[in-house]
Structures are given as C-alpha cells and as structure tokens.
C-alpha cells in the first residue's frame, strides 16, 4: 500500500502528469490520424502531432501560448488535410486556458478560437465548396467553462483553508493571552501583596518581613518558571493536548500548593476535595488549576480581607470546582481576560461556567466539566 501511495503521489506531480498526458495525446492523435487516412504526408502528421503534444508540457505555466500554438497546428491540419485529428490537444489546451489562465482572457481566447475556426471553414467553403461546420464552437466554450468551474472550486477551497488557518491563529492568540494573563496577574498580585505586607512590618517585625519577602521571591521564581514553560509550548508542535504539555504540573494535584501560597499571601482560604478522584486529561486538569488561580487572584484584587473556600468535587461523569468568598463581588464588571478567559477555557473542555454574586453574599465561581468514561480510572 505504501508503494502504491508513493507511486500515486509521483504521478500526481504536475510535470509528471503533464508528461504522461502529452505522451497519451500524441499516441492517440497519431493512431487516429493514420486510421482515418488524412490527406497529409506522414512526416507532416508526425511533426504537427509532436508539436501539439509537446506543447502540453507547458500548459500550466503558459496556457495561452500553448493554446495559440496548438490551434495553429489544428488549423493547418484542417486546411491541408481536410480532416481533423488534433482535437484532443486542442480540447486540453482550451481546458488549461480556463483552469490556469486569467478568467477574462480565457473567455476571449475561446471566442477567438471559435472565430478562427469559423473563418477557416468559411474560406474552405468558398474555395473548395466544403460545407462549414460549427459543432466545435459550443464545445470550445464548454471546455473553457469546465476549466473555470474547477478553478473556482479550488479557489474556494483554498480560501476556506486560509480562513480556518486564520481562525486557528486567532484562537491560539486568545489562548496565549489567557495564559499570560493568568501567569502574570496571579503572581504579580501575590508579589504586590507580600511586598506591601513586608514594608509595613519591616521596622516592627523584621523576621516576619524577611519571611514575607522570601515568599514573594518564590512567587517571582514560579512566575518565571511558568513563563519559560509557556515559551516551550510556543516552540512545540500543536498536536492533541501538546499545547497544554508545558503545564502538566499545574493541575488538580497542584491546588493544595496554590491555596497554601494564597494563604501565605494573607488570604484566608481553605481547600476541600470530595469524591473519588479520576484521571483527567491535561486540558481539563490545567483548566481546573487556572480557574482556581484566577478566582483567588480576583478575590485578592477586588475583595481584600475576605475569606474564601475552594471545593473540588468528583462526580460521576464530571468534575466540579467552586470558589466562594464572603466579601464584595470579586471580579464583577472586570473588563480584562479573567472571567472571559475562564469561560473560554471551560467551553473548550465542553463544560459550563457560572460566575456572579452568591445569594448569601460574596462572589461565586462554579464550573462543571464533563469527564469521559474512558478517562476514569479502572
């Protein structure tokens, strides 16, 4: 099968296909010429047949030049041979003009071919008394139109592929914007809180201030590590979950460390995990981590002094994550990538996100993401 595919790809190469087409047309026209007994000497038959067939080798690059040459040979056979056997090459040339030439010029060429044929047969009628025929006129227009149709179909297909590629680029840009927002906003927010706390306690509690600064330094290193991983993802091939491969260590298993860092930064927060843990895809695992990270960042930015709780629940066929706080509506009216990025992440995994004020006060972020059965532990 592999050898057949290789052979087929070789035959589909333009130069190879055109060479085979020229050889086939040459053989067909030579057999037809000698079988119908044209009134042309054999050397002339072979010469005109060879010129018309070899010209097809350049039908993609110079379709109108090839058409002119073949039509000239064709008219010569009509004038001196009283029979037509170069019709195959002429039809191929007309098709190539419609397929690879400028559309307007292709139609002009088709009309010119019709006029030249009509003038030729009219002259033969006047000189030899032969009855003119116009059956080739509609044929030339049909062949050019068929070539135009295939040209338009290919252009539409290329345009569709270009639009898909552009959409993929835009989606990748949005994903990178979300990643950059999550990495930078979370760690910079944490570092600002820690540095501010250290500044206020530096004179009274230098030991506590030093510990706070060490925590801020660790947050900065983590930000740099995540940025390096993001750059690694940019250089990697984008296949299946490869775009999340650089963040394999940032998932549900890393939530305790994330909550602990938030607590070290002064946020009163707790983590609860319920249900039987199942194996998650890299995309879902990373999405859970980013949701909690962004929610905690918003609480620090918009609900200072609030208490928060994080709950991760494994339910049959899905995983749920909930982040609650008892402060002001954290994130409400946010115009950045925060809540929008959460929604896009969850939607990409086939889940649903709910974010807004909680009926009992504070703000709630809740996401439910389906987990296919094939991903569950057996």
Residue 80 Cα to chain centre, angstroms: 57
- pLDDT tens-digit map of 310-343: 999 999 889 999 999 887 544 444 444 567 778 8
Q: What is the pLDDT of residues 272-288, one digit of tens each?
A: 999 888 888 777 888 88
Length, in residues, of the chain:
378
Which among 234, 228, 227 is positioned nearest to 173, based on CA atoms? 234
> Which band of pLDDT confidence, cut at 50, 70 and 90, is reported for residue 124?
low
How far is 352 from 372, CA to CA, in rounded Å? 15
Q: Residue 107 CA to chain centroid, in angstroms?
A: 35
* Closest-CA residue to 53 (of 80, 21, 84, 31): 21
Bridging pattern class, strands 318-325 and 363-370: antiparallel
Phi and psi at residue 154, to the nearest 5°: -65, -40
User: Torsion angle, CA of 171/176/177/178, rounded to 10 degrees?
Assistant: 90
- What would the pLDDT profile of 191-240 be if each residue is shown by its tens digit? 777 777 777 777 777 877 777 777 777 777 776 666 666 666 555 544 44
pTM score, two decimals?
Answer: 0.45
């Amino acid at each position: 099968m592999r050898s057949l595919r290789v052979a087929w790809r070789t035959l589909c190469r333009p130069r190879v296909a055109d060479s085979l087409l020229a050889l086939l047309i040459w053989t067909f026209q030579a057999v037809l010429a000698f079988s119908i007994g044209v009134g042309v000497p054999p050397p002339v038959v072979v010469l005109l047949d060879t010129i018309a067939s070899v010209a097809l080798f350049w039908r993609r690059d110079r379709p109108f030049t090839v058409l002119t040459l073949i039509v000239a040979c064709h008219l010569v056979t009509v004038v001196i041979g009283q029979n037509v056997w170069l019709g195959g090459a002429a039809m191929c040339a007309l098709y190539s003009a419609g397929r690879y030439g400028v559309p307007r010029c292709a139609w002009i060429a088709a009309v010119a071919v019709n006029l030249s044929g009509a003038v030729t047969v009219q002259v033969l009628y006047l000189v030899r008394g032969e009855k003119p025929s116009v059956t080739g006129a509609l044929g030339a227009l049909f062949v050019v139109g068929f070539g135009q149709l295939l040209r338009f179909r290919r252009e539409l297909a290329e345009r569709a592929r270009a639009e898909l590629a552009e959409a993929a680029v835009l989606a990748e840009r949005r994903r990178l914007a979300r990643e950059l927002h999550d990495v930078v906003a979370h760690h910079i927010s944490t570092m600002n809180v820690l540095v501010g706390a250290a500044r206020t306690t530096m004179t009274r509690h230098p030991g506590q201030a030093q510990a706070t600064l060490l925590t801020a330094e660790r947050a900065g290193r983590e930000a740099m590590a995540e940025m390096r991983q993001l750059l690694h993802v940019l250089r990697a091939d984008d296949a299946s979950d490869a775009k999340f491969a650089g963040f394999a260590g940032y998932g549900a298993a890393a939530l305790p460390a994330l909550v602990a860092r938030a607590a070290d930064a002064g946020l009163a927060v707790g983590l609860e995990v319920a249900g039987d843990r199942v194996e998650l895809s890299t995309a879902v695992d990373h999405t859970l981590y980013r949701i909690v990270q962004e929610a905690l960042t918003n609480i620090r930015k918009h609900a200072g002094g609030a208490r928060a709780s994080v709950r991760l629940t494994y339910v049959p066929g899905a995983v749920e994550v909930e982040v609650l706080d008892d402060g002001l509506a954290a994130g409400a009216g946010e115009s950045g990538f925060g809540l929008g990025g959460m929604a896009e992440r969850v939607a990409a995994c086939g889940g649903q996100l709910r974010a807004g004020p909680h009926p009992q006060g504070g703000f709630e972020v809740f996401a439910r993401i389906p987990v296919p059965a094939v991903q569950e532990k057996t």
